[in-house]
Structure 1
Amino acid sequence: MNLTGGIVLFASIWFLTLFVVLPFGQRSQADAGSIVAGTHAGAPSDLAWRRKLVITTLVTTAIWGVIAFVILGDYITRDDISQLDHLIR
């Protein structure tokens, strides 16, 4: 894995993790009891962006570290992946 591949892998994992982390701890405006005029009652009342971004980055760093360790340690190589279709046949 080169530098560009590592950055692309990190960015991909980061966005996937962000979409998983966003709904946790979410309170709607109806739950909070203060519905802003013109918005749906199910709209988020207060989204703690900074906390969610930090959590996303920490989780992504751990996942990326494991994947980079497996790739750079040659535990799984391209030859191993190209031979996966033989398991099905």
Structure 2
Amino acid sequence: MGWATGIMVYFLCWWTVLFAVLPFGIQPEPDGRETDGGWRGAPRRPAILTKAIWTTVVATVLWAGIFMIVRSDWLSFRSGWLAMTPN
């Protein structure tokens, strides 16, 4: 895996994990009024920084696992049981 591919895979992992982490701990404002700038579905305390930190940690572990699998011969199309036959 080259550095550009590694960055793109990390970005995709981070973005996917972010959307998985965003709903954790959300408690909607029950009496939010649009005139006050609130909305009933808006969270009281979104804790975006905490979620971004957790997203980074989880995405890094996930990316490291993907990197190890790609670098190993366990899942390879060049050699092993998944190898394509030469023409």
CA RMSD of aligned residues (A): 2.1
Alignment gaps of 5+ in structure 2: none
Partner of 2:25: 25
In 1, the alpha carbon distance for the partners of 2:67 and 2:43 equals 36
Q: Helix, strand or coil for the counterpart of 1:44?
A: coil
Could you say if the C-alpha distance between residues 3 and 46 of structure 1 is closer, same or farther in structure 2, counting changes exceeding 3 Å?
same
Shift in Å, 1:39 = 3.4
Matches within 5 A, 1:35-74: 35-36=32-33, 37-74=36-73
**How high is the TM-score relative to the length of structure 2?**
0.80
Q: Mean alpha-carbon deviation: is it higher for 57-66 or for 40-49?
A: 40-49
Alignment gaps of 5+ in structure 1: 84-89
**How high is the TM-score relative to the length of structure 1?**
0.78
Partner of 1:87: none
In 2, the alpha carbon distance for the partners of 1:81 and 1:35 equals 59
The percent identity for this pair of structures is 30
Runs (4+) of structure 1 exceeding 3 A deviation are none
